[in-house]
Every structure is written in C-alpha cells, then in structure tokens.
Amino acid sequence: MRLFSILAAVALTIILAMSILARPQLAAMFSGPQTEADAADVTAEGAASPEPDTALEKRVKVMVRKVQGQEVDSAVILRGETQAARQVDVRSETSAIVTSEPLRKGARVEAGDAMCVLDPGTRGAGLDEARARLAEAQSRIPEAEARVEEARARLQEAEINQNAASRLGKDGFASQTRVAGADAATAAAKAGVTSATAGLSAARSGIEAATASVAKAEKEIERLVIAAPFSGLLESDTAELGSLLQPGALCATVIQLDPIKLIGFVPETEVNRVKLGAQAGARLAAGGREVVGDVTFLSRSADTQTRTFRVEIEVPNADLSIRDGQTVEIIIASAGVKAHLIPQSALTLNDEGNLGVRLVDAEAVVAFAPVDIMRDTAKGVWVTGLPETADVIVVGQEYVTAGVTVAPTWAEVSQ
C-alpha cells in the first residue's frame, strides 16, 4: 500500500508539472494541428469577443524591426578554379637521338628557345644531294630552251618552203612530189617543236621536284631543334640526353601563367546577369589573396549534365604566384537591385515550406512574405521580395501564424 501511494504521488507531481510548464504543447496536442488559416479564424472570433481587454492581454508579444529597402550591388558569386592561359605538350616530328642536356621542370623558357636538340645523322648529306639535283635540273633549262628555238626555226623554214612549192605547183613550175616533200618537212618541223617544248617542260618539272626535295630536307633539319612555342614554364623535364624520340614522342610540357584564367560555371538562372567585359574579383582559397580581372568569355552552350554555362576571367599574374588548378571564389559585378538587410534568425518557413519572414501591418496583424536570399554577411542577410518599407518580426515569429493579431514591441535598427 505504501508503494502504491508513492507511485500515485509521483504521477500526480508529473501531471501538475506538465500542466504548468508545458501548457501550450498540451493544448496544441489535444486541440489538433492548427494551420495559419485556422489561427486566422480563431483570431477573428477573438476579435468579436465582448471582452477586448482580456483579448489584448492574451496576444503574443513579438519584437518588430522596421527595415528600409536599399540599392545593393547584385554580384554573381561562383566557385571555380584557376587555369593556365596556355598549356602545350611539345612533341617530336621526326625520329632521332637527343643530343642536348635536359632542362628541368620549373625552368622558364622564352618563345623560340631550344628545348630538345636531335642528332642530324645523314640529313645534312641528304640536303646536299637535293641541292645538287636542283642545280643539275636548272642547268638543263638553257639546253632545252635552245632546242625549242631551233625547232621553231626549222618549222619556220619548212613553212616557207611549203608555201613556195605550193605556189609553183599551181603555176606548173613544180612537181607534185616536191609539194608533198615540203608538206612532210613542215609536219616533221612541227613535231620537232612539240618534242622540244615537252623537253623544256620536263626540265622545269625536274626543277620543281628538286626544289621540293631541298625544302623537305631543310624542313627535316629544322625539326632537329624542338623549340618553345611561347614563353612560359616547363611543367616537366625535357627529354633525357641519349633518348630516342619517335614522331609524336613528348619533348616537354610548357604552360603560360601570365595572364591566368579563372574558370567558373554560371547557373542558367544567373547567366543573363553576366556580361562580357564585366569586372570580376576573386579570392584564392589558399591564403585568401584577392585578385581583379575582367570577364573575357561566356559560353553560349550549357553543359548537358549541370545546365551551367562556362565563364572565363582573365587576371594578371606577372609574378607567377597564382598556380594552375587553385580553388577560387569568384564575384562578378552585376546591376544593383533593391534589397533589405535582416537578421538571419528572422527567417522562417510557412506551412507550405516556403522561406520568408513574418510581417505586421498597422493593425498588428501578422502576414507571411516569401523572400529570396541574395547575400549572407556578418551583419545579416540581404533578401529580396519585400516592400520598400517592411515591419519584420525578428523575435517570436515562430510562435505566430498569418492572420494572428500580436502585441508588437519595436526594436531599434542597428545597421
């Protein structure tokens, strides 16, 4: 019996404590879920109550701050990475053994500097042979031209003889045999001209072929020196001394870091706010260094997977302190918009899950206003979607719903 009394006393104590400390929760549990519309109905009924003093005492007290819209720079914030302006794998175009000492990675090279020098082998002799053939072909031109002139002279003589024999034959002073012989001599002279002309064309073709052979041999010798295509840094060692390079084999990798590019991807909802030539700033994740540049490229085609658009920003990097592949936070300047600065704690959700704030009007009635977060700062968050002047509930917004009449206390603005 004593144990039963103790248990009954404990249970009674718990019930009394809950009725005092958790009275609002118990009321909500026994009365069922209450939406913002239900609260509005209850408030309307309370407003019609014949006891206004009692209703005023039961209003929820909230703290309200009057906020004014301000013109704020609407920057587009992205997360991206640095990328070298140019990066090239310089490869061999011929097959030979490397005869130069290797340059080590990190070394600076200027445009045209030799990075890999290859053994010429018999390429010099091949060039001399091609030049000799060219000289020989050129020497045949005068002889071929002389033959053409000789053949044309013979043709002219044969045509004169043919003309004379033809006239004498018509007057009966020459036989038909002489006329026929003159015709045959003219035909033979024409054939000689054709042959001589063909010989001249062949000689000229020989010159062109020999010239092409000389150019090929010279180009092959030029390929023995693999030079830097632009000024930059070696990202890898050049080919080792004595190694055999085949066509397509890597000599070295060269990168250009001045200027350097910042690469980011703009969502399709923000792409219309980015313009070519717009000023942009960036903060490096390592060290927090800040740099400034201009937008030089904005893709016209979205990535099929992410539906984002590539944007490139060119930044000076004369000291080469910014490396390829570093993470950066990019801010691109855009046209300003009207926004309000409110405490982050003032944000709440309505029954539909929309993010917003709760406002009060002149009659102290609560209303919900959806907002969009534009920027997060140490002083609060900048949001859009509110009227020019808004009375925002900053304390107690979680305990009231739209349509409820509250007892506001006004907080001073400290911005």
Whether residue 392 sits in one domain with residue 315: no
Residue 245 sits in the same domain as residue 106? yes
Q: Is residue 30 part of a domain?
A: no
Which of the listed residues 335, 361, 385 is the one where a domain comes to its end?
335
Work out the average pLDDT over 49-75.
Answer: 74
Q: Could you tell me if residue 20 is inside a domain?
A: no
Identify whether 106 is part of a domain: yes
**Does residue 170 surpass a pLDDT of 70?**
no
State the Cα–Cα distance between residues 134 and 215, nearest whole angstrom.
11
- Identify whether 12 is part of a domain: no
| Residue 295: pLDDT band with limits 50, 70, 90 | very high
**pLDDT at residue number 25:** 55
3-state helix, strand and coil shares in percent for the chain, rounded to the nearest 5: 35, 35, 30
Token digits of residue 414: 């400290």
pLDDT at residue 49, as a whole number? 46
- Shared domain check, 130 and 206: yes
The domain spanning residue 60 has which CATH number? 2.40.420.20
Residue 53 pLDDT > 60: no
What is the reported pLDDT for 138? 86
Residue 25 lies in a domain: no
Mean pLDDT of 15-36: 55
The Cα 385–Cα 403 span in angstroms is 20
Predicted structure pTM score: 0.55
- pLDDT-derived band at 315, boundaries 50, 70, 90: very high
| CATH number, domain with residue 95 | 2.40.50.100
Instruction: Identify whether residues 103 and 236 lie together within a single domain.
Output: yes
Report the pLDDT value the prediction gives residue 50, as an integer from 0 to 100: 46
Asked if 299 and 369 sit in the same domain, the reply is no
Instruction: Mark whether 187 and 323 lie in a shared domain.
Output: no
Region 279-302: mean pLDDT is 90
Q: Evaluate if residue 252 carries a pLDDT over 90.
A: yes
- Residue 200 shares a structural domain with residue 262: no
Confidence of residue 288 (pLDDT cuts 50, 70, 90): confident
Residue 153 is predicted with a pLDDT of: 81
Which of 83, 110, 88, 113 shows the shortest CA–CA distance to 100? 113
**Torsions phi, psi for 268 (to 5 deg):** -65, -20
Question: What is the CATH number for 173?
Answer: 1.10.287.620
Tell whether the model's pLDDT for residue 31 goes beyond 60.
Answer: no
**Contact status, residue 273 vs residue 335, Cβ threshold 8 Å:** yes
Residue 281 shares a structural domain with residue 200: no
Can you give the pLDDT at residue 173? 55
CA-wise closest residue to 389 among 32, 66, 14? 66
Cis peptide before 247 (omega within 30 of 0): no
Confidence of residue 22 (pLDDT cuts 50, 70, 90): low
Residue 28 lies in a domain: no
- Asked if residue 179 belongs to a domain, the reply is yes
The residues near 102 (Cβ < 8 Å, ≥ 6 apart) are: 237, 238, 239, 240, 241
Q: What percent of the chain has pLDDT over 90?
A: 38
Q: Is the pLDDT of residue 43 over 50?
A: no
Q: What 3-state class would DSSP assign to 187?
A: helix
Residue range 91-97: mean pLDDT, rounded: 94
Please choose, from the candidates 89, 322, 324, the residue with its C-alpha nearest in 3D space to the C-alpha of residue 228: 89
Same domain, 110 and 172: no
Structure tokens at 266: 């703009």
Average pLDDT over every residue of 329-333? 89
Least confident of 26-30, 79-83, 232-236, 278-282: 26-30
Does 130 lie in the same domain as 107? no
**pLDDT for 39 beyond 70:** no
CATH number at residue 273: 2.40.30.170
Residue 354 belongs to a domain: yes
Query: How many domains does the chain contain in total?
Result: 4
What span, in angstroms and rounded, lies between the C-alpha atoms of 217 and 223?
A: 10
pLDDT computed for residue 46 by the predictor: 45
Segments forming the whole domain that contains residue 110:
87-121+224-251
pLDDT per residue as tens digits for the range 337-355: 788 999 999 999 988 889 9
Looking at the fold, whether 185 and 319 belong to one and the same domain comes out as no
Q: What is the mean pLDDT of the chain?
A: 83
Whether residues 115 and 64 share a domain: the answer is no
Q: What is the DSSP-derived secondary structure letter of residue 286?
A: T
Rounded Cα–Cα distance for residues 351 and 40 (Å):
14
